Structure 1
Amino acid sequence: MSIETRKEAFVKLGDFLNKFIQQKDTELEVEEKLKPYAVQLQKAVEDSIHYNGWFTKENIYFSLEQWANALKKEKLENWLKSYSFSDKDPKTVAIIMAGNIPLVGFHDFLCVQLSGNKTLIKQSSNDKLLLPALLELLKFYAEDFNDSVEIAKEQLKDFDAVIATGSNNTARYFEYYFSKKPHIIRKNRNSVAILTGKETSEELHKLGEDIFRYYGLGCRNVSKLLVPENYDFKTFFEAIYDWNPIINQHKYVNNYDYNKAVYLMSNQKLFDNNFLILKEDQNFASPIGCLFYEYYKNEEQLKNYLTEHTEDLQCVVSSKENHISFGKTQMPKLTDYADNVDTMAFLTNLS
């Protein structure tokens, strides 16, 4: 199957998703030949909500919307024109997917397929329903996907390279187990936002999207604020107040209550608005319902801090041009590779 054929199938998938998400709260109306796939995807969404308490309908549809926007012909062509594709025999690339947010492994899958290789997928038990539904649609658009994609039911075997995403602990295991194969091994990363005190209420409101989308479970979610000394958090709390209904989600409130109790029993200094705890902490990975913050003295110290922690950071959010804009962390472009490792370059250079 040619890369052009695969690209065309993904563009059609994007068109389908665009129509699908527009009918989120209405009865599905699609072409008769596509109806079984729409029904299957709709069932996958509903079942995922019941299977994984962190996967809400709103967040699943948000993820689908991002892919509907990304899988457009012009965007795919602009992305792929930077790479050289050869007619060499395809390699089988194993993808070990995380399951922290809906379809978090789809970008790796897209990269493998558009690089002309075959995909062997090991799904997370937390997100095992959505991708198979999309894959059935891709098979409808191009039957050759039947031969180029396999979802492993048991242990991975017979593959040439691997892309594995996990924690720092699992990464050590992956490094050992896959040491003899070409590989990309991803570890824990977190995202930070830099505030100066001059942000508008609108910017801070958008920052709420970076913090709370997917309940903060993604590596692109802001888990820490870097603020100037004597920063006043009042404006920040006022700007994000519209996110207060998040406390009604039972898994979120359980984490919030637990972490608050632990911090209070240990006499930790906290800021709290009854749905988000702010705690001064040098770490990056804040627990659910909590956001860490750390003070900086000046621009030079801040610059050195970011340089020192490059390997820990996925996204840096601020009003500066070279950083991600407020509210955009969960809207990555096709060129925004996890851990800043160019996945497509890795795949096109496999030999």
Structure 2
Amino acid sequence: MLQNEKKQSFIALGQFLSQFSEQGNTKNELVSGNDLFFDDFTHLIQLSQSHNGWYTPEQVYFAIQSWATALTEENINKWLAPYSSNASQDNKNIKTVALILAGNIPLVGFHDFLSVLITGNKTLIKTSSNDQHLLPFLAKYLIFIDESLKDKITFVEGKLENFDTVIATGSNNTARYFEYYFKDKPSIIRKNRNSVAVLNGKETKEDLEALGEDIFRYFGLGCRNVSKIFVPKGYQFDAFFEAIFKYQDVIHYEKYANNYDYNKAVFLMSNFKLLDNGFLTIKEDTSYASPISSVFYEFYENIDDLQKRLHADAEQIQCIVSNNLIQNSIAFGESQKPQLWDYADNVDTITFLLTTK
């Protein structure tokens, strides 16, 4: 059942999050709970990089602003409208949903958390060791807004027990473990996926700069980050390297720089041919998954053949970026700005939660 009262709680959370940005945190006196939560959240953002070296203030603020933009009444109504006919009012169908969350980028599991609560279910949450602070804080804020949520949100450190369904996100290796361990439960098990870009050589400088956002946001750690580029036969990368030069400061982050030095050394010792601009290596490779600080590329001859290949490899791909060269692709610079209705792995979480008994 869809919960209208819970919808209002998340709208309030969106208003709270809208106060925080890299340009400065600005308190809005109309936002509920600021006297209890504003300063503490400011402090938590400042501490995030000490909890996880990849969670720089810039990346955390980007994640916060993305959710502030998503959690508006208009967006939530648009997201939930297709499910209104499936919204049961039978309280006996309330489930406890175990969430096993990843921690590769800030608040990566928030959409699952939101989906469980907005459908009236209870959630049992096991956070990643890499992201143990942001979601629990936001949960406390939601409980302040709606005290009834206190009985619907439980964080677990040890073994998960007494749940009806599970949504688990991990690597291909952990997915095999999840599939075995949860074989008797209805489940969504997410594995590794990567995102790709398709170019035809007619892209503007602005397009390629935006592609840099798809590559470097969150240091390339997200499944929606572009890790592979398809280019036409004979493509020259000069314009690409010129456009992404604006992202050069990424090399000043120690964890990224260490990955750049290590992966470049591995490639060179293996005598792989590389293109390199001092903060990103690109390598011709058929794989979709490139290491941090590197992007793979592959030449294509026929866009229709490439379309067929990408369709055949759909289970390995999270999203495709292009200037409408590929069906259902998204615009450059938009890969890390998914809408509420853009489901991970194209699995409709709300339908799963509403229809699973």
TM-score interval for Structure 1 and Structure 2 normalised by the shorter chain? over 0.9
TM-score by length of 1: 0.97
Query: 225, 228, 235: which is aligned to 2:229?
Result: 225
| Partner residue of 1:86 out of 81, 85, 88 | 88
| Pairing of 1:276-291 with structure 2 (within 5 A) | 276-291=280-295
User: Residue 168 of structure 1 aligns to which amino acid in structure 2?
Assistant: N
Measure how far apart 1:265 and its partner are. Answer: 1.3
Q: Structure 2 vs 1, CA of residues 120 and 198 (structure 1 numbering), >3 Å: closer, same or farther?
A: same
- For residue 294 of structure 1, the aligned residue among 293, 298, 301 is 298
How far the C-alpha of 1:28 sits from its partner, in A, is: 5.0
What is the correspondence of 1:302-317 to structure 2 with a 5 Å cutoff?
302-317=306-321
Instruction: Quote how far apart the aligned CAs of 1:255 are.
Output: 0.4
Q: Which structure 2 residues correspond to residues 145-160 of structure 1 after superposition, within 5 A?
A: 145-160=149-164
Counterpart contact for 2:20–2:61, Cα < 8 Å: no
Q: Which residue of 1 aligns with 2:335?
A: 329
| Residues 9-68 of structure 1: per-residue CA shift (max 9 Å, x gap) | 00011011112337x535756568422211222222222211110000010010000100
Partner of 1:77: 77
Report if the CA contact (8 A) 1:37-1:136 is conserved: no
Structure 1: runs of 5+ lacking an equivalent: none
Specify the alignment match of 1:10 in structure 2: 10
Separation (CA, whole Å) in 1 of partners of 2:339 and 2:2: 24
Instruction: Work out whether 1:63 is the aligned partner of 2:63.
Output: yes
> Contact 1:226 / 1:295 at 8 angstroms: preserved in 2?
yes
CA offset at residue 301 of structure 1? Answer: 1.8
| RMSD of aligned Cα (Å) | 1.5
Specify the code of the residue in structure 2 equivalent to 1:71.
L
Identity of aligned residues (%): 53
Structure 2 contact 27–34 (Cα < 8 Å) conserved: no
Among 234, 253, 259, the residue aligned to 1:255:
259
Task: Determine if the alignment matches structure 1 residue 42 to structure 2 residue 33.
Answer: no
Q: Which runs of 5+ in 2 are unaligned?
A: none
CA–CA distance in structure 1, aligned partners of residues 40 and 315 of structure 2: 40
Question: Which residue, 334, 338, 345 being the options, matches 1:339?
Answer: 345
Tell me, yes or no, if the aligned pair for 1:160 and 1:181 is still in contact at 8 Å: yes
**Hey, what does 1:141 align to over in structure 2?**
145
The CA deviation string for residues 290-313 of structure 1, in whole angstroms up to 9 with x for no partner, is 000011111122112112211100
**Large movers: runs of 4+ above 6 Å:** none
Partner of 2:278: 274
Q: Tell me, in whole angstroms, the C-alpha distance in 1 between the residues paired with 2:33 and 2:320.
A: 44
Deviation at 1:123, TM superposition (A): 0.2
2:189 match = 185
CA distance in 1, matches of 2:258, 2:235: 29
TM-superposed deviation, 1:315: 0.5
Once the two structures are overlaid, the 10-residue window that deviates more, 260-269 or 189-198, is: 260-269
Please give the alpha-carbon distance, in whole angstroms, between the structure 1 residues aligned to 2:5 and 2:101: 25
Say whether the 8 Å CA contact 1:20–1:38 is kept in structure 2. no
Aligned equivalents of 1:323, 1:27: Cα separation in 2 = 36
Aligned mates of 1:44, 1:152 — CA distance in 2? 21
The count of aligned residue pairs is 350
Structure 1 counterpart of 2:156, which letter?
A
Give the 3 Å change call, closer, same or farther, for CA 144–277 of structure 1 in structure 2. same
| One-letter code aligned to 1:48 | S
Query: Which one of the candidate residues 89, 114, 121 is aligned to 1:117?
Result: 121
Q: TM-score when scaled to structure 2?
A: 0.95
2:187 maps to a residue whose letter is H
Counterpart residue identity of residue 231, structure 2: V
- Name the amino acid aligned to 1:72: T
Are 2:97 and 1:97 aligned? no
CA distance in 2, matches of 1:119, 1:104: 16
Larger deviation: 24-33 or 78-87? Answer: 24-33
Greater shift after overlay, 328-337 or 39-48? 39-48
What is the Cα deviation at residue 128 of structure 1?
A: 0.7
SS in 1 for 2:20: helix
Shift of 1:223: 0.2
1:111-136 C-alpha deviation (Å, 9 max, x unpaired):
00011110110000100100111111
| Alignment-mate amino acid for residue 133 of structure 2 | L
Contact 2:16 2:32 in 1 (8 A): no
* Deviation by residue 1:207-241 (Cα, 9 ceiling, x = unmatched): 00000000000000000000111100000000111
Instruction: Provide the secondary structure at the position in 2 that maps to 1:144.
Output: helix
